[in-house]
Amino acid sequence: MEQNKNRQPLDGIKVVDLTRVLSGPFCTALLSDLGAEIIKIEPPTGDEYRHVGPFRAGESALFTLINRNKKGAVADLKNPGHLNRVLELAREADVFVENFKPGVADRLGVGYEAVRAINPDIVYASISGFGQSGENSQLPAYDLVVQAMSGMMAITGEADGEPTKVGESIADLVAGLYGSWAILAALFDRQRTGLGVHLDVAMLDCLFSLMPTPVAQWMFSGEAPGRVGNRHPLSTPFGSFSARDGRVIIAVLNNRQFSALCVAMGRPEIAEDPRFRSDEERTRHEPALRDLIESWLSGQTVESAIDTLSGAGIPASPVLEMRDVLARASRGERQLLQTQQHPRLGPVPAMMQPVRASAWARPEPNTAPELGEHDDELFG
């Protein structure tokens, strides 16, 4: 049977989106990329991200990127008439997403029980910092706080340096990603059972789930791992090394690759050194091995080293600056960035969802809505 390549997997799915800032809007943006109709409800003052720069012509770049492909409406949930409007939208929706502090949605009249009362099979997702219950549930949930409490900062940075955050709001983003994943699973489950569900997505839980390596280090030893800089905590050589004109990433995961590295450096005998005969021994003697590798690299440019290593089948790369990454994303065949037409800014970049499917349409991105742009359409 010939596949219809104009379809999107979430065509016909309606999502009421009461989220703001990053975790929730990223979750619903991912759903919108797959064809879901996202109805973004904002307070009269707008989503906080409308007021976070960088700006051009009064428009926030962050808000524009994260709220693509959505319809926008304004509702003051403390106004009974506005609350009823939102509940009427929820009555016809498949999914309801909020990322208020736990308890706030209930107080505003849009909590799970209130929405389920009018739409029993709703898929309702609550995204928060520390979950809907538990000792930390009422703590403020900024990304940096979650990174600090997750242990992610404790294992990031140089061994003799201070804990370092990841260079992006990773806790917000991974919570949004897990939220979209859970919503899709819930929609599939509802198709089989006819039952809705309340999803409790905690930023801390989601970020912790991305750390199997430190858990594995602790698992048998009982000792918590610390920071090791840019090298891998369990495999060596696996990290960043200094060449004549920059840094080279070398990623060796087994003895075969290590032997190939030694040959590529013109030092095949190193592979027979008792200090380096296994991954565990190489990691134990990492400083000595690093000295040998960087002694070779001192006579190599980044480009020549990567040519030699890649030719030998050894995973290697330069450390690209963000300007180079952005240039590649804009012109590359994978279309990580496309151009969208903004009514006030003209053509601006749009981030695309990264998964490519043989039978799904990849439509042109639509820009984020103006505040209250679709009030008339949604509320009459």
pLDDT in tens, 151-172: 999 999 999 999 999 999 999 9
The listed CATH number (3.50.50.60, 3.30.413.10, 3.30.1540.10, 3.20.20.10) that belongs to domain 238-320: 3.30.1540.10
pLDDT at 6: 77
106-120, 170-184, 293-307, 357-371: the lowest-pLDDT one: 357-371
Rounded (10°) CA dihedral 125, 130, 132, 134: 160
pTM for the whole structure: 0.93
Mean pLDDT for the stretch of residues 232-242:
95
Does residue 378 or residue 362 have the better pLDDT?
378
The set of residues, in sequence order, having a beta carbon less than 8 Å from that of 262 and lying 6+ positions away, is 268, 269, 270, 271
Domain span(s) for CATH 3.40.50.10540 in the chain: 14-210+329-379
Backbone angles phi, psi at 184, to 5 degrees: -65, -40
pLDDT at 3: 57
Residue 1 pLDDT > 50, yes or no?
Answer: no
**Is the separation of the CB atoms in 356 and 34 below 8 Å?**
no
* Cα R_g (the chain), whole angstroms: 25
From 232, 285, 342, 374, active-site residue: 232
Q: What is the mean pLDDT of the chain?
A: 94
**Is the separation of the CB atoms in 66 and 86 below 8 Å?**
no
* Token pair listed for 370: 């103006």
Give the three-class secondary structure for 71: strand
Q: Give the residue ranges of DSSP H helices in 77-169.
A: 80-91, 104-108, 112-118, 143-150
**Is the separation of the CB atoms in 167 and 119 below 8 Å?**
no
d(CA 33, CA 272) in angstroms, rounded, equals: 52
Active-site annotation holds for 82: no
CATH number of this structure's domain 14-210+329-379 = 3.40.50.10540
* Per-residue CA distances from 123 to 136, 210, 224, 247 (Å): 25, 25, 38, 48
d(CA 364, CA 368) in angstroms, rounded, equals: 13
d(CA 14, CA 71) in angstroms, rounded, equals: 11
Domain span(s) for CATH 3.30.1540.10 in the chain: 238-320
Neighbours of 153 (CB within 10 A): 18
d(CA 336, CA 350) in angstroms, rounded, equals: 8
* Token pair listed for 96: 């309801």
Residue 351 pLDDT > 50, yes or no?
Answer: yes
Q: In terms of DSSP bridges, do strands 337-342 and 346-351 run parallel, antiparallel, or are they unpaired?
A: antiparallel
- What does the DSSP assignment read for 11-67? TT-EEEE---TTHHHHHHHHHHHTT-EEEEEE-TT--GGGGSS-EETTEEHHHHHHT
Confidence of residue 130 (pLDDT cuts 50, 70, 90): very high
Residue 305 pLDDT > 90, yes or no?
Answer: yes
**Is the separation of the CB atoms in 71 and 40 below 8 Å?**
yes
pLDDT at 141: 86
Residue 202 pLDDT > 80, yes or no?
Answer: yes
